[in-house]
Amino acid sequence: MSQEKQPDTMLLTIVLKHDQSKNLEDIQSHMKKMDWWERFPVEGTRVVSWTVAMGLGQIVTLELPPALLPLVNVELERSAWGVFRTECYPSYDFVPVRERIRERVRNGGQ
């Protein structure tokens, strides 16, 4: 098994589930009070995608150096809690892996 170079960044998928006991005005007021739009995402991270899923909330995927993970966590606790329930999932880009598997299968492997 060959060792691949560890990436300098990781992906983090964050699910921000709306607190449905609050209406949009309540949510926006809280986010403004907590300076959400300036504080999140934290400096040094890159937004890969930010999707609104009706009835669920928002799904944000960030690319970041692993060392910034604690800062992202603290910022979510500081400014997202109160209007969102948060779920965080370390993730990775499967496209290159899929392509390697596809090529291996084409060549008779599994």
Residue 76 lies in a domain: yes
| Helix ranges restricted to H, 6-94 | 24-33, 36-39, 69-75
Q: Specify if 2 maps to a domain.
A: no
5 part of a folded domain:
no
CATH number at residue 81: 3.30.70.920
**20-31 mean pLDDT:** 93
Task: Provide the percentage of residues in the chain whose pLDDT is more than 70.
Answer: 94
Residue 3 is assigned to a structural domain of this protein: no
Domain annotation covers residue 63: yes
pLDDT tens profile 27-76: 999 999 999 999 999 999 999 999 999 999 999 999 999 999 999 999 99
What domain range is 77 assigned to?
A: 10-106
What are the distances in angstroms from CA 82 to CA 57, 76, 104?
A: 14, 10, 48
DSSP run (H or E) holding 12 = strand 10-18
pLDDT tens for each residue of 43-52: 999 999 999 9
Share of the chain above pLDDT 90, in %: 84
User: Is residue 4 situated within a structural domain?
Assistant: no
Q: What's the number of domains the chain is made of?
A: 1
In the numeric block, which tokens belong to residue 37? Answer: 């739009």
